[in-house]
Each structure stands twice: as C-alpha cells, then as structure tokens.
Amino acid sequence: MKNIAVFASGKGSNFEAIAKTVKSGMLKVNLALLVCDNQQAAVLGKARKAGVPVALIKRQDFASKADFEKAIISRLKENAIDLIVLAGYMRMLSAPFVHEFRGRVINIHPSLLPAFKGESGIKDAFDYGVKVTGVTVHFVDEEMDHGPVILQREVAITGKDTLDTLEAKIHKIEHRIYPEAIKLFVQGKLKIKGRKVIRLR
C-alpha cells in the first residue's frame, strides 16, 4: 500500500475529504502524514481527529528555506512517502525539492489551468466574468500552478452565483476529483510524457 503525505496550511477541507475516502475504503492508501507550516491551522485538529500523524514544521524555525525543506524531506523519508499531495499548502516548493520528488508531487487548483493561476483563482475567475471555470489536479514542477494536468472538471458560473456560492461549488468538485486523481496515481495509471499525462489502462 502506498504511503501518502498531505501538505496543508489552512482549513483542511481537501485533507478531510481525502481522509474520509481512505476511511471508507474507496481509496486504498496509507495516509501516513500531514505536513503543516501553520500552528493555527484548523487542519491540525482534523488530522489528529482522523488519527493521522502530524509534522508541524514552521519556516520561522529555520535559518533558510533550504534548511526548512531539508527538515520536511527528512520526515518524508522517515515515513517512506510515495506521494505528496498539496492541499492548500501556501508555500512554493523549491526547485531542489521538486527535483527530489519529481513525478511524486501533485497539487489541486481551483481553476481550469493555465487560466487564473495564483492563490485567488476562484475570485479572479468570478471577477473576470467567465461563464465556466473549474478545478485542475496536476503534477508539480518548478513553476507556480504549472505542470502536467492529471484531471480537470468544469464548473459553470451562472448569473445567480455569488463568490460564496461559486466557492462552494468549486470545493464540492475538489473533494471528488482529488481522491480520484490520487487513486489513478497509486494504481499506476499515470505516466508523464513531456508536458502531458498519459492515462494507462
């Protein structure tokens, strides 16, 4: 069984969705570790409630980003992590970190990448006035919100939507699509070829 680590900095709704899918048996992985950089994050309580070990590793406790990431890498190796799942982790991973785990780090973003990159993807799409936005799960590379796409789902924006209702629709899709993408990875059904992901049968 594959060992996965979830990285999160905030509320942890995607962590919670993944943990529930694991508990139900629909996603057959060992949720081995939560990595968090924020001691105030609500996700810490959710991880402890789910019985998932927590690595609270704060940037301010280290002299450099390199030392900070070395501490994270050490915990990942201690737990023999096969896949890193970024779920609202508000730090950009360095190129050396990405290189260390290339092809084993995935991220979820609340837009149809490459549109509306950055931390306010939902608001940016809403403010721009597009009729369709969505959710993207992708492999992580050295650029922000970039890398080969694993799955995408569209979400319509209607005239009745507010930013709050759109956020709710986006999160609902996120909670479905992320476990699905993780399942494809652990079943060995994803292969990166150049900038694309090939789905194996």
Q: Are residues 169 and 90 both part of a single domain?
A: no
Q: Is 145 left (phi over 0), alpha (psi -120 to 50) or beta?
A: left
97 and 128 co-located in one domain: no
Instruction: Please state the pTM of the whole predicted model.
Output: 0.95
Determine which one of 109, 138, 146, 175 is catalytic.
109
Encode pLDDT of 145-193 as tens digits. 999 999 999 999 999 999 999 999 999 999 999 999 999 999 999 999 8
Is 146 catalytic? The answer is: no
Q: Please indicate, yes or no, whether residues 97 and 2 belong to a single structural domain of this protein.
A: yes
pLDDT (tens digit per residue) in 53-90: 999 999 999 999 999 999 999 999 999 999 999 999 99
Quote the number of domains for the chain: 2
Please identify, among 35, 69, 101, the residue that sits at the C-terminal boundary of a domain. Answer: 101
CATH number, domain of 178, equals 3.40.50.170
On whether both 23 and 51 belong to a single domain, the answer is: yes
pLDDT tens for 30-61 read 999 999 999 999 999 999 999 999 999 999 99
Last residue of a domain, one of 101, 126, 143: 101
Secondary structure element (H or E) that encloses residue 59, with its range: none
